[in-house]
């Protein structure tokens, strides 16, 4: 009976660390990545709206890390939108009125933030709230294109650029439309429709809008820094898009 008893004791000694190893494996398990691409609308608010009520249209993205077994994710989010475009037909330099070209001016906003999001990590509907901190970047650029071949750029320049500190909060809901299979439970790829809104408080920055363009005595458009607008840069962003968890 002694060999049997010794065998049982040995097995018990070998099995004793198993729960501890399992706990350690769970403690150090890897979370999931999550990314999204969205159609973006930007609505100026406060002083920014008083100076320019043009709505921006563009794209936004999210790239984050979902913490394991916690209703938290962290990551980076950004967006780009154009909030004003003007087009002019102007004489090409040195040709009098014989040759004209197309001059286009775009007013642009780029946003970049780090975010912390609170969200349930399972279920068909997953509402969330988030806090953000980062930057607003404004710039206006003009380009000249061939009138006959619109895809042919002749020249371009940046007329003005500025940046401001930004922070804010947002919320939304993700609706799952696909869940893939995986050998590891809970690790399949998931696809969501993502709806969200964010209110971002921005510091002071200089920028142009469509009203900043003036004309010289010959009718040529001018963008002078003296005509730049300056204010706080609060904005409301709304987004709809697709998010993927992997």
Average pLDDT over residues 182-197: 81
% helix, strand, coil for the chain, step of 5: 15, 60, 25
- Confidence tier at 14 by pLDDT (50, 70, 90): very low
Q: What distance lies between CA 99 and its chain's CA centroid? A: 41
**Better-scored residue on pLDDT, 163 or 158:** 163
DSSP strand pairing (190-202 vs 125-146): unpaired
Backbone angles phi, psi at 72, to 5 degrees: -135, 145
What pLDDT was estimated at residue 180? 86
pLDDT of amino acid 21:
39
Which of 107, 105, 131, 104 is closest to 57 using CA atoms? 107
Burial of 243 (C-beta count, 10 Å sphere; 0-12/13-18/19+): buried
pLDDT confidence band for 65 (50 / 70 / 90): very high
**CATH code, residues 31-245:** 2.40.160.20
Give the C-alpha separation, 130 to 151, whole Å. Answer: 41
Question: Given this model, what pLDDT does residue 98 score?
Answer: 57
What ranges do the domains of the chain cover?
A: 31-245
Q: How far is CA 119 from the centre of its chain?
A: 18
Query: What pLDDT digit, counting tens, does each position of 78-119 carry?
Result: 999 999 887 777 766 655 555 677 778 889 999 999 999 999
Work out the average pLDDT over 21-25.
Answer: 41
Q: What is the pLDDT of residue 95?
A: 56
């Amino acid at each position: 009976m002694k060999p049997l008893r010794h065998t049982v004791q040995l097995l018990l000694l070998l099995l004793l660390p198993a729960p501890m190893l399992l706990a350690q494996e769970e403690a150090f398990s890897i979370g999931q990545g999550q990314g999204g691409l969205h159609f973006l609308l930007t609505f100026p608010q406060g002083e920014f709206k008083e100076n320019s009520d043009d709505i921006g249209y563009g794209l936004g993205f999210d790239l984050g890390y979902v913490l394991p077994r916690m209703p938290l994710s962290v990551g980076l989010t950004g967006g780009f939108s154009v909030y004003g475009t003007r087009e002019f037909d102007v004489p090409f330099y040195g040709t009098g009125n014989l040759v004209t070209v197309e001059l286009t001016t775009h007013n642009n906003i780029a946003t970049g933030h780090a975010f912390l999001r609170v969200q349930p990590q399972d279920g068909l509907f997953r509402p969330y709230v988030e806090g953000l901190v980062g930057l607003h970047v404004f710039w206006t650029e003009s380009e000249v294109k061939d009138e006959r071949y619109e895809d042919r750029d002749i020249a371009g320049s940046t007329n003005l650029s500025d940046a401001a500190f930004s922070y804010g909060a947002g919320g939304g809901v993700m609706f799952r439309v696909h869940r893939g299979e995986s050998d590891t439970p809970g690790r399949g790829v998931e696809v969501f429709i993502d709806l969200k809104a964010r209110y971002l408080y921005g510091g002071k920055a200089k920028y142009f809008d469509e009203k900043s363009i003036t004309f010289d005595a010959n009718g040529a458009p001018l963008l002078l820094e003296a005509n730049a607008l300056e204010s706080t840069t609060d904005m409301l962003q709304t987004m709809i898009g697709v998010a993927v968890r992997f």
